[in-house]
Structure 1
Amino acid sequence: MLITATEFKTNIGKYLKLAAKEDIIITKNGKRVAKLTNASEDKTDIVKSLIGILPNTISESEAREERLSKHERHA
């Protein structure tokens, strides 16, 4: 659903409730500036998008160690 920033400010409670069921795109001067979405669905989508990224040749613990070592080098 697309709504203007003015409409959102006027009816914020209504759109916060609707965001649990559908994405709300907020526009200002005709440009998209924000998106309200269901937080729990967003986490699920992120997890689903990561499935299959890790190659079969590396174990979960090896991937974790590699990720942590990258952070330690940048610290």
Structure 2
Amino acid sequence: MSITAAELKLNLGKYLQLAESEDIFITQNGKVVAKLSNPNADRVEMAKSLLGVIPADITLEESRREKGRKCMKALIDTCVIVDVLQNFIV
């Protein structure tokens, strides 16, 4: 939706409510100068896009353990690289 700055000024409350569900572009002298939008909309879209990514047969605890394993492996790999580099410096 696109409205003029004057229209926004006259009906701010109305457009704040509309901005919860859609972006509103504000124009001045025929040019878009601002966008009124819901700051949480991106988070909602991201959450919707992740639905189905985690298999239905995995529990939250299993998911957390798997994430922990991956973090630990990355940490160990980093330590190994640091050890190798220290051997070259000495």
**Alignment TM-score, normalising by the size of structure 2:** 0.48
1:15 aligns with 2:21: no
What letter is aligned with 2:15? Answer: Y
| Structure that is richer in helix per residue | 2
Q: Deviations over 1:16-73 (max 9, x none)?
A: 000001000000000000001111013456897xxxxxxxxxx5xx7xxxxxxxxxxx
Between structure 1 and structure 2, the one with the greater Rg is 2
Same amino acid, percent of matched pairs: 54
Q: Which has the higher contact order (CA 8 A, sep 6+)?
A: 1
| Unmatched runs of 5 consecutive residues or more in structure 2 | 50-73, 79-90
Q: How many residues align?
A: 51
CA RMSD of aligned residues (A): 2.6
Deviation at 1:5, TM superposition (A): 0.2
**Distance in 2 (alpha carbons) for counterparts of 1:43 and 1:34:** 21
The 3-state SS of whatever aligns with 2:3 is: strand
